[in-house]
Amino acid sequence: MLIPSHQNKPLLSFGVISDGVPRYYRHSLHVLQRAVKNWNHQNLKFSINFGDIVDGFFHKHQSLTSVNKFRLFNGPTYHMIVNHCLYNLPRDKLLPLLNIRNPNSIAYYEFSPIAEFQFVVLDGYDVSAIGWPKDHPNTKKANSPNGLIIRDRRFLMFNGAVGKERIKWLDRVLGDATKLDQKVGIGCHVPLDSDASSNEALLWNYNEVMDVVHRYSCVKACLAGHDHKGRYSVDSHGVHHRILEAALECPPGTDAFGRIDVFHDRLLLCGED
């Protein structure tokens, strides 16, 4: 069957990278540098950082180096707030650094790079034991992981949850996208599907978030980081879940970044190593 030529061309392409620091810190900076050079060469529309470029186990000036490397990209970069970032800086300092301009230190947002497509970024640490002041209500809601087994292992301290107000916001955003006949991709540092993630890396309330997602047919894919080895699944409602392999797991001489081509009927992930 012949495919019309316009269907072979993506509507847009964007860069993706995840989990860029601690284990091979110096090399992961080189991975990021190569990623930005690669993306600029391909003239991508934007890039998405799925997290952990500001790390709590290194000096702040080293963490800032990784942020500055993103600024060499010839387009906007959208960041997610994640656990390693929050080990280093409080939310009120971190969000401006990552160019997330929401008030009240919240880190969820959406954007439409083209009329047909919308990307929604969730804050997987909206309710968390890290990043908020100790007396903040969102810290007090966090659970203790002691004695947890099997899937309840997701209640570890380096995970978090999407708060109730943000879930209501997600419901409104997906409702509006449905009215506009948009296809939606969701990004969250912490995975949203138990078949694509280890028990220890799941969002605390992944089931509540996915209950909202499954009310609508507009969501086609959920992308995540955090669970460093990477994995893929399709859930019972046909939503694709892809966890991206971590740059920090790359020993010298290897890479872990890529681009995603968005077509009318599919997303194509083209990765390096």
Q: Where are the domains of the chain?
A: 12-272
Residue-wise pLDDT for 127-162, tens only, equals 876 655 566 555 545 455 454 444 555 656 667 899
Would you say domain 12-272 falls under CATH 3.60.21.10? yes
Contact 49, 21 (CB under 8 A): no
Q: Is 50 exposed, middle or buried (0-12, 13-18, 19+ CB in 10 A)?
A: buried
Q: What is the pTM of this model?
A: 0.84
The confidence score (pLDDT) of residue 91 equals 80
Residue-wise pLDDT for 42-65, tens only, equals 989 999 998 765 554 455 555 566
Sequential pLDDT tens for the chain (273 residues): 444 545 689 999 999 988 655 454 556 677 888 899 999 999 899 999 987 655 544 555 555 667 778 889 999 999 988 766 777 777 887 888 888 887 777 889 999 999 999 999 999 988 876 655 566 555 545 455 454 444 555 656 667 899 999 999 999 999 999 999 999 999 999 999 999 988 788 999 999 999 999 999 999 999 998 886 778 999 999 999 999 987 766 677 788 889 999 999 999 999 887
What is the sign, positive or negative, of the torsion defined by CA atoms of 146, 147, 151, 153?
Answer: positive
- Sort strands 240-243 and 219-224 into parallel, antiparallel or unpaired: parallel
Q: DSSP letters of 185-235?
A: EEE-SS---TTTS-GGGS-TTHHHHHHHHTT-S-EEEEEE-SSTT-EEEE-
